[in-house]
Amino acid sequence: MVELRIMANRYPTQINALWIAFLLGTLFHTDLGLMPLFHDQAVEHSHAGGNLDLVFGFMLFFFAIPMVLIILTTFTNSKGFRRLHFLVTSLYSVLNVGHLIADIVVQAPWYQLVLMTLLLGIGILLNLVSYQWLQKRYHRIRKTIPAA
């Protein structure tokens, strides 16, 4: 079996780069959905009549969680955080699969499907690197004071 080894000492940097790419792609996905407005065309309103506060709140958390994880990944290395991080990346991948399926069902434009597929690929790579970071063992260095 071939094991994919990704510069093992750079997990936090790789994870942060993947989260940033994911967030930029997600922003672009949202922006693409609004592009028709700038060309005097109608935009589909799948949430018309619904509680927009709930939708906006979900979007806030969907964007804010990776932002917080980027900061925490930079400053912590604890096993508990790495476990939580892997679980969150897995949840995001499940949500991305669901979103891609929903886009296929409603026959979203091809460019949205391509972008969602790319985002899913970034998410799966993020899962892989996050899992490898979770498996990494960090040894504490014990300083010994020489006997006088």
Could you state, in order of their start, the residue ranges of all structural domains in the chain?
Answer: 10-35+56-135
pLDDT given for residue 129 in this prediction: 97
Cα 144 versus chain centre, distance:
42
Nearest Cα to Cα of residue 70 among 14, 123, 133: 14
Please report where in the chains the tokens 């939580």 appear, as a residue.
Answer: 84
- The Cα–Cα gap between 98 and 95 comes to 5
User: Cβ-count burial of 114 within 10 angstroms (0-12 exposed, 13-18 middle, 19+ buried)?
Assistant: exposed
Flag whether pLDDT at 143 surpasses 80. no
pLDDT given for residue 32 in this prediction: 65
Q: What is the pLDDT of residues 60-73, one digit of tens each?
A: 999 999 999 999 99
Q: How confident is residue 87, by pLDDT bands cut at 50, 70 and 90?
A: very high
**pTM (global) more than 0.85:** no
Nearest Cα to Cα of residue 25 among 96, 73, 109: 96
pLDDT given for residue 4 in this prediction: 58
The CA distances from residue 144 to 41, 140, 141, in Å, are 71, 12, 10
Q: What is the pLDDT of residues 20-62, one digit of tens each?
A: 999 999 988 776 665 555 555 555 555 555 677 888 888 899 9
pLDDT given for residue 40 in this prediction: 58
- The Cα–Cα gap between 127 and 70 comes to 14
Of 7-11, 28-32, 54-58, 78-82, the range with the highest mean pLDDT is 78-82
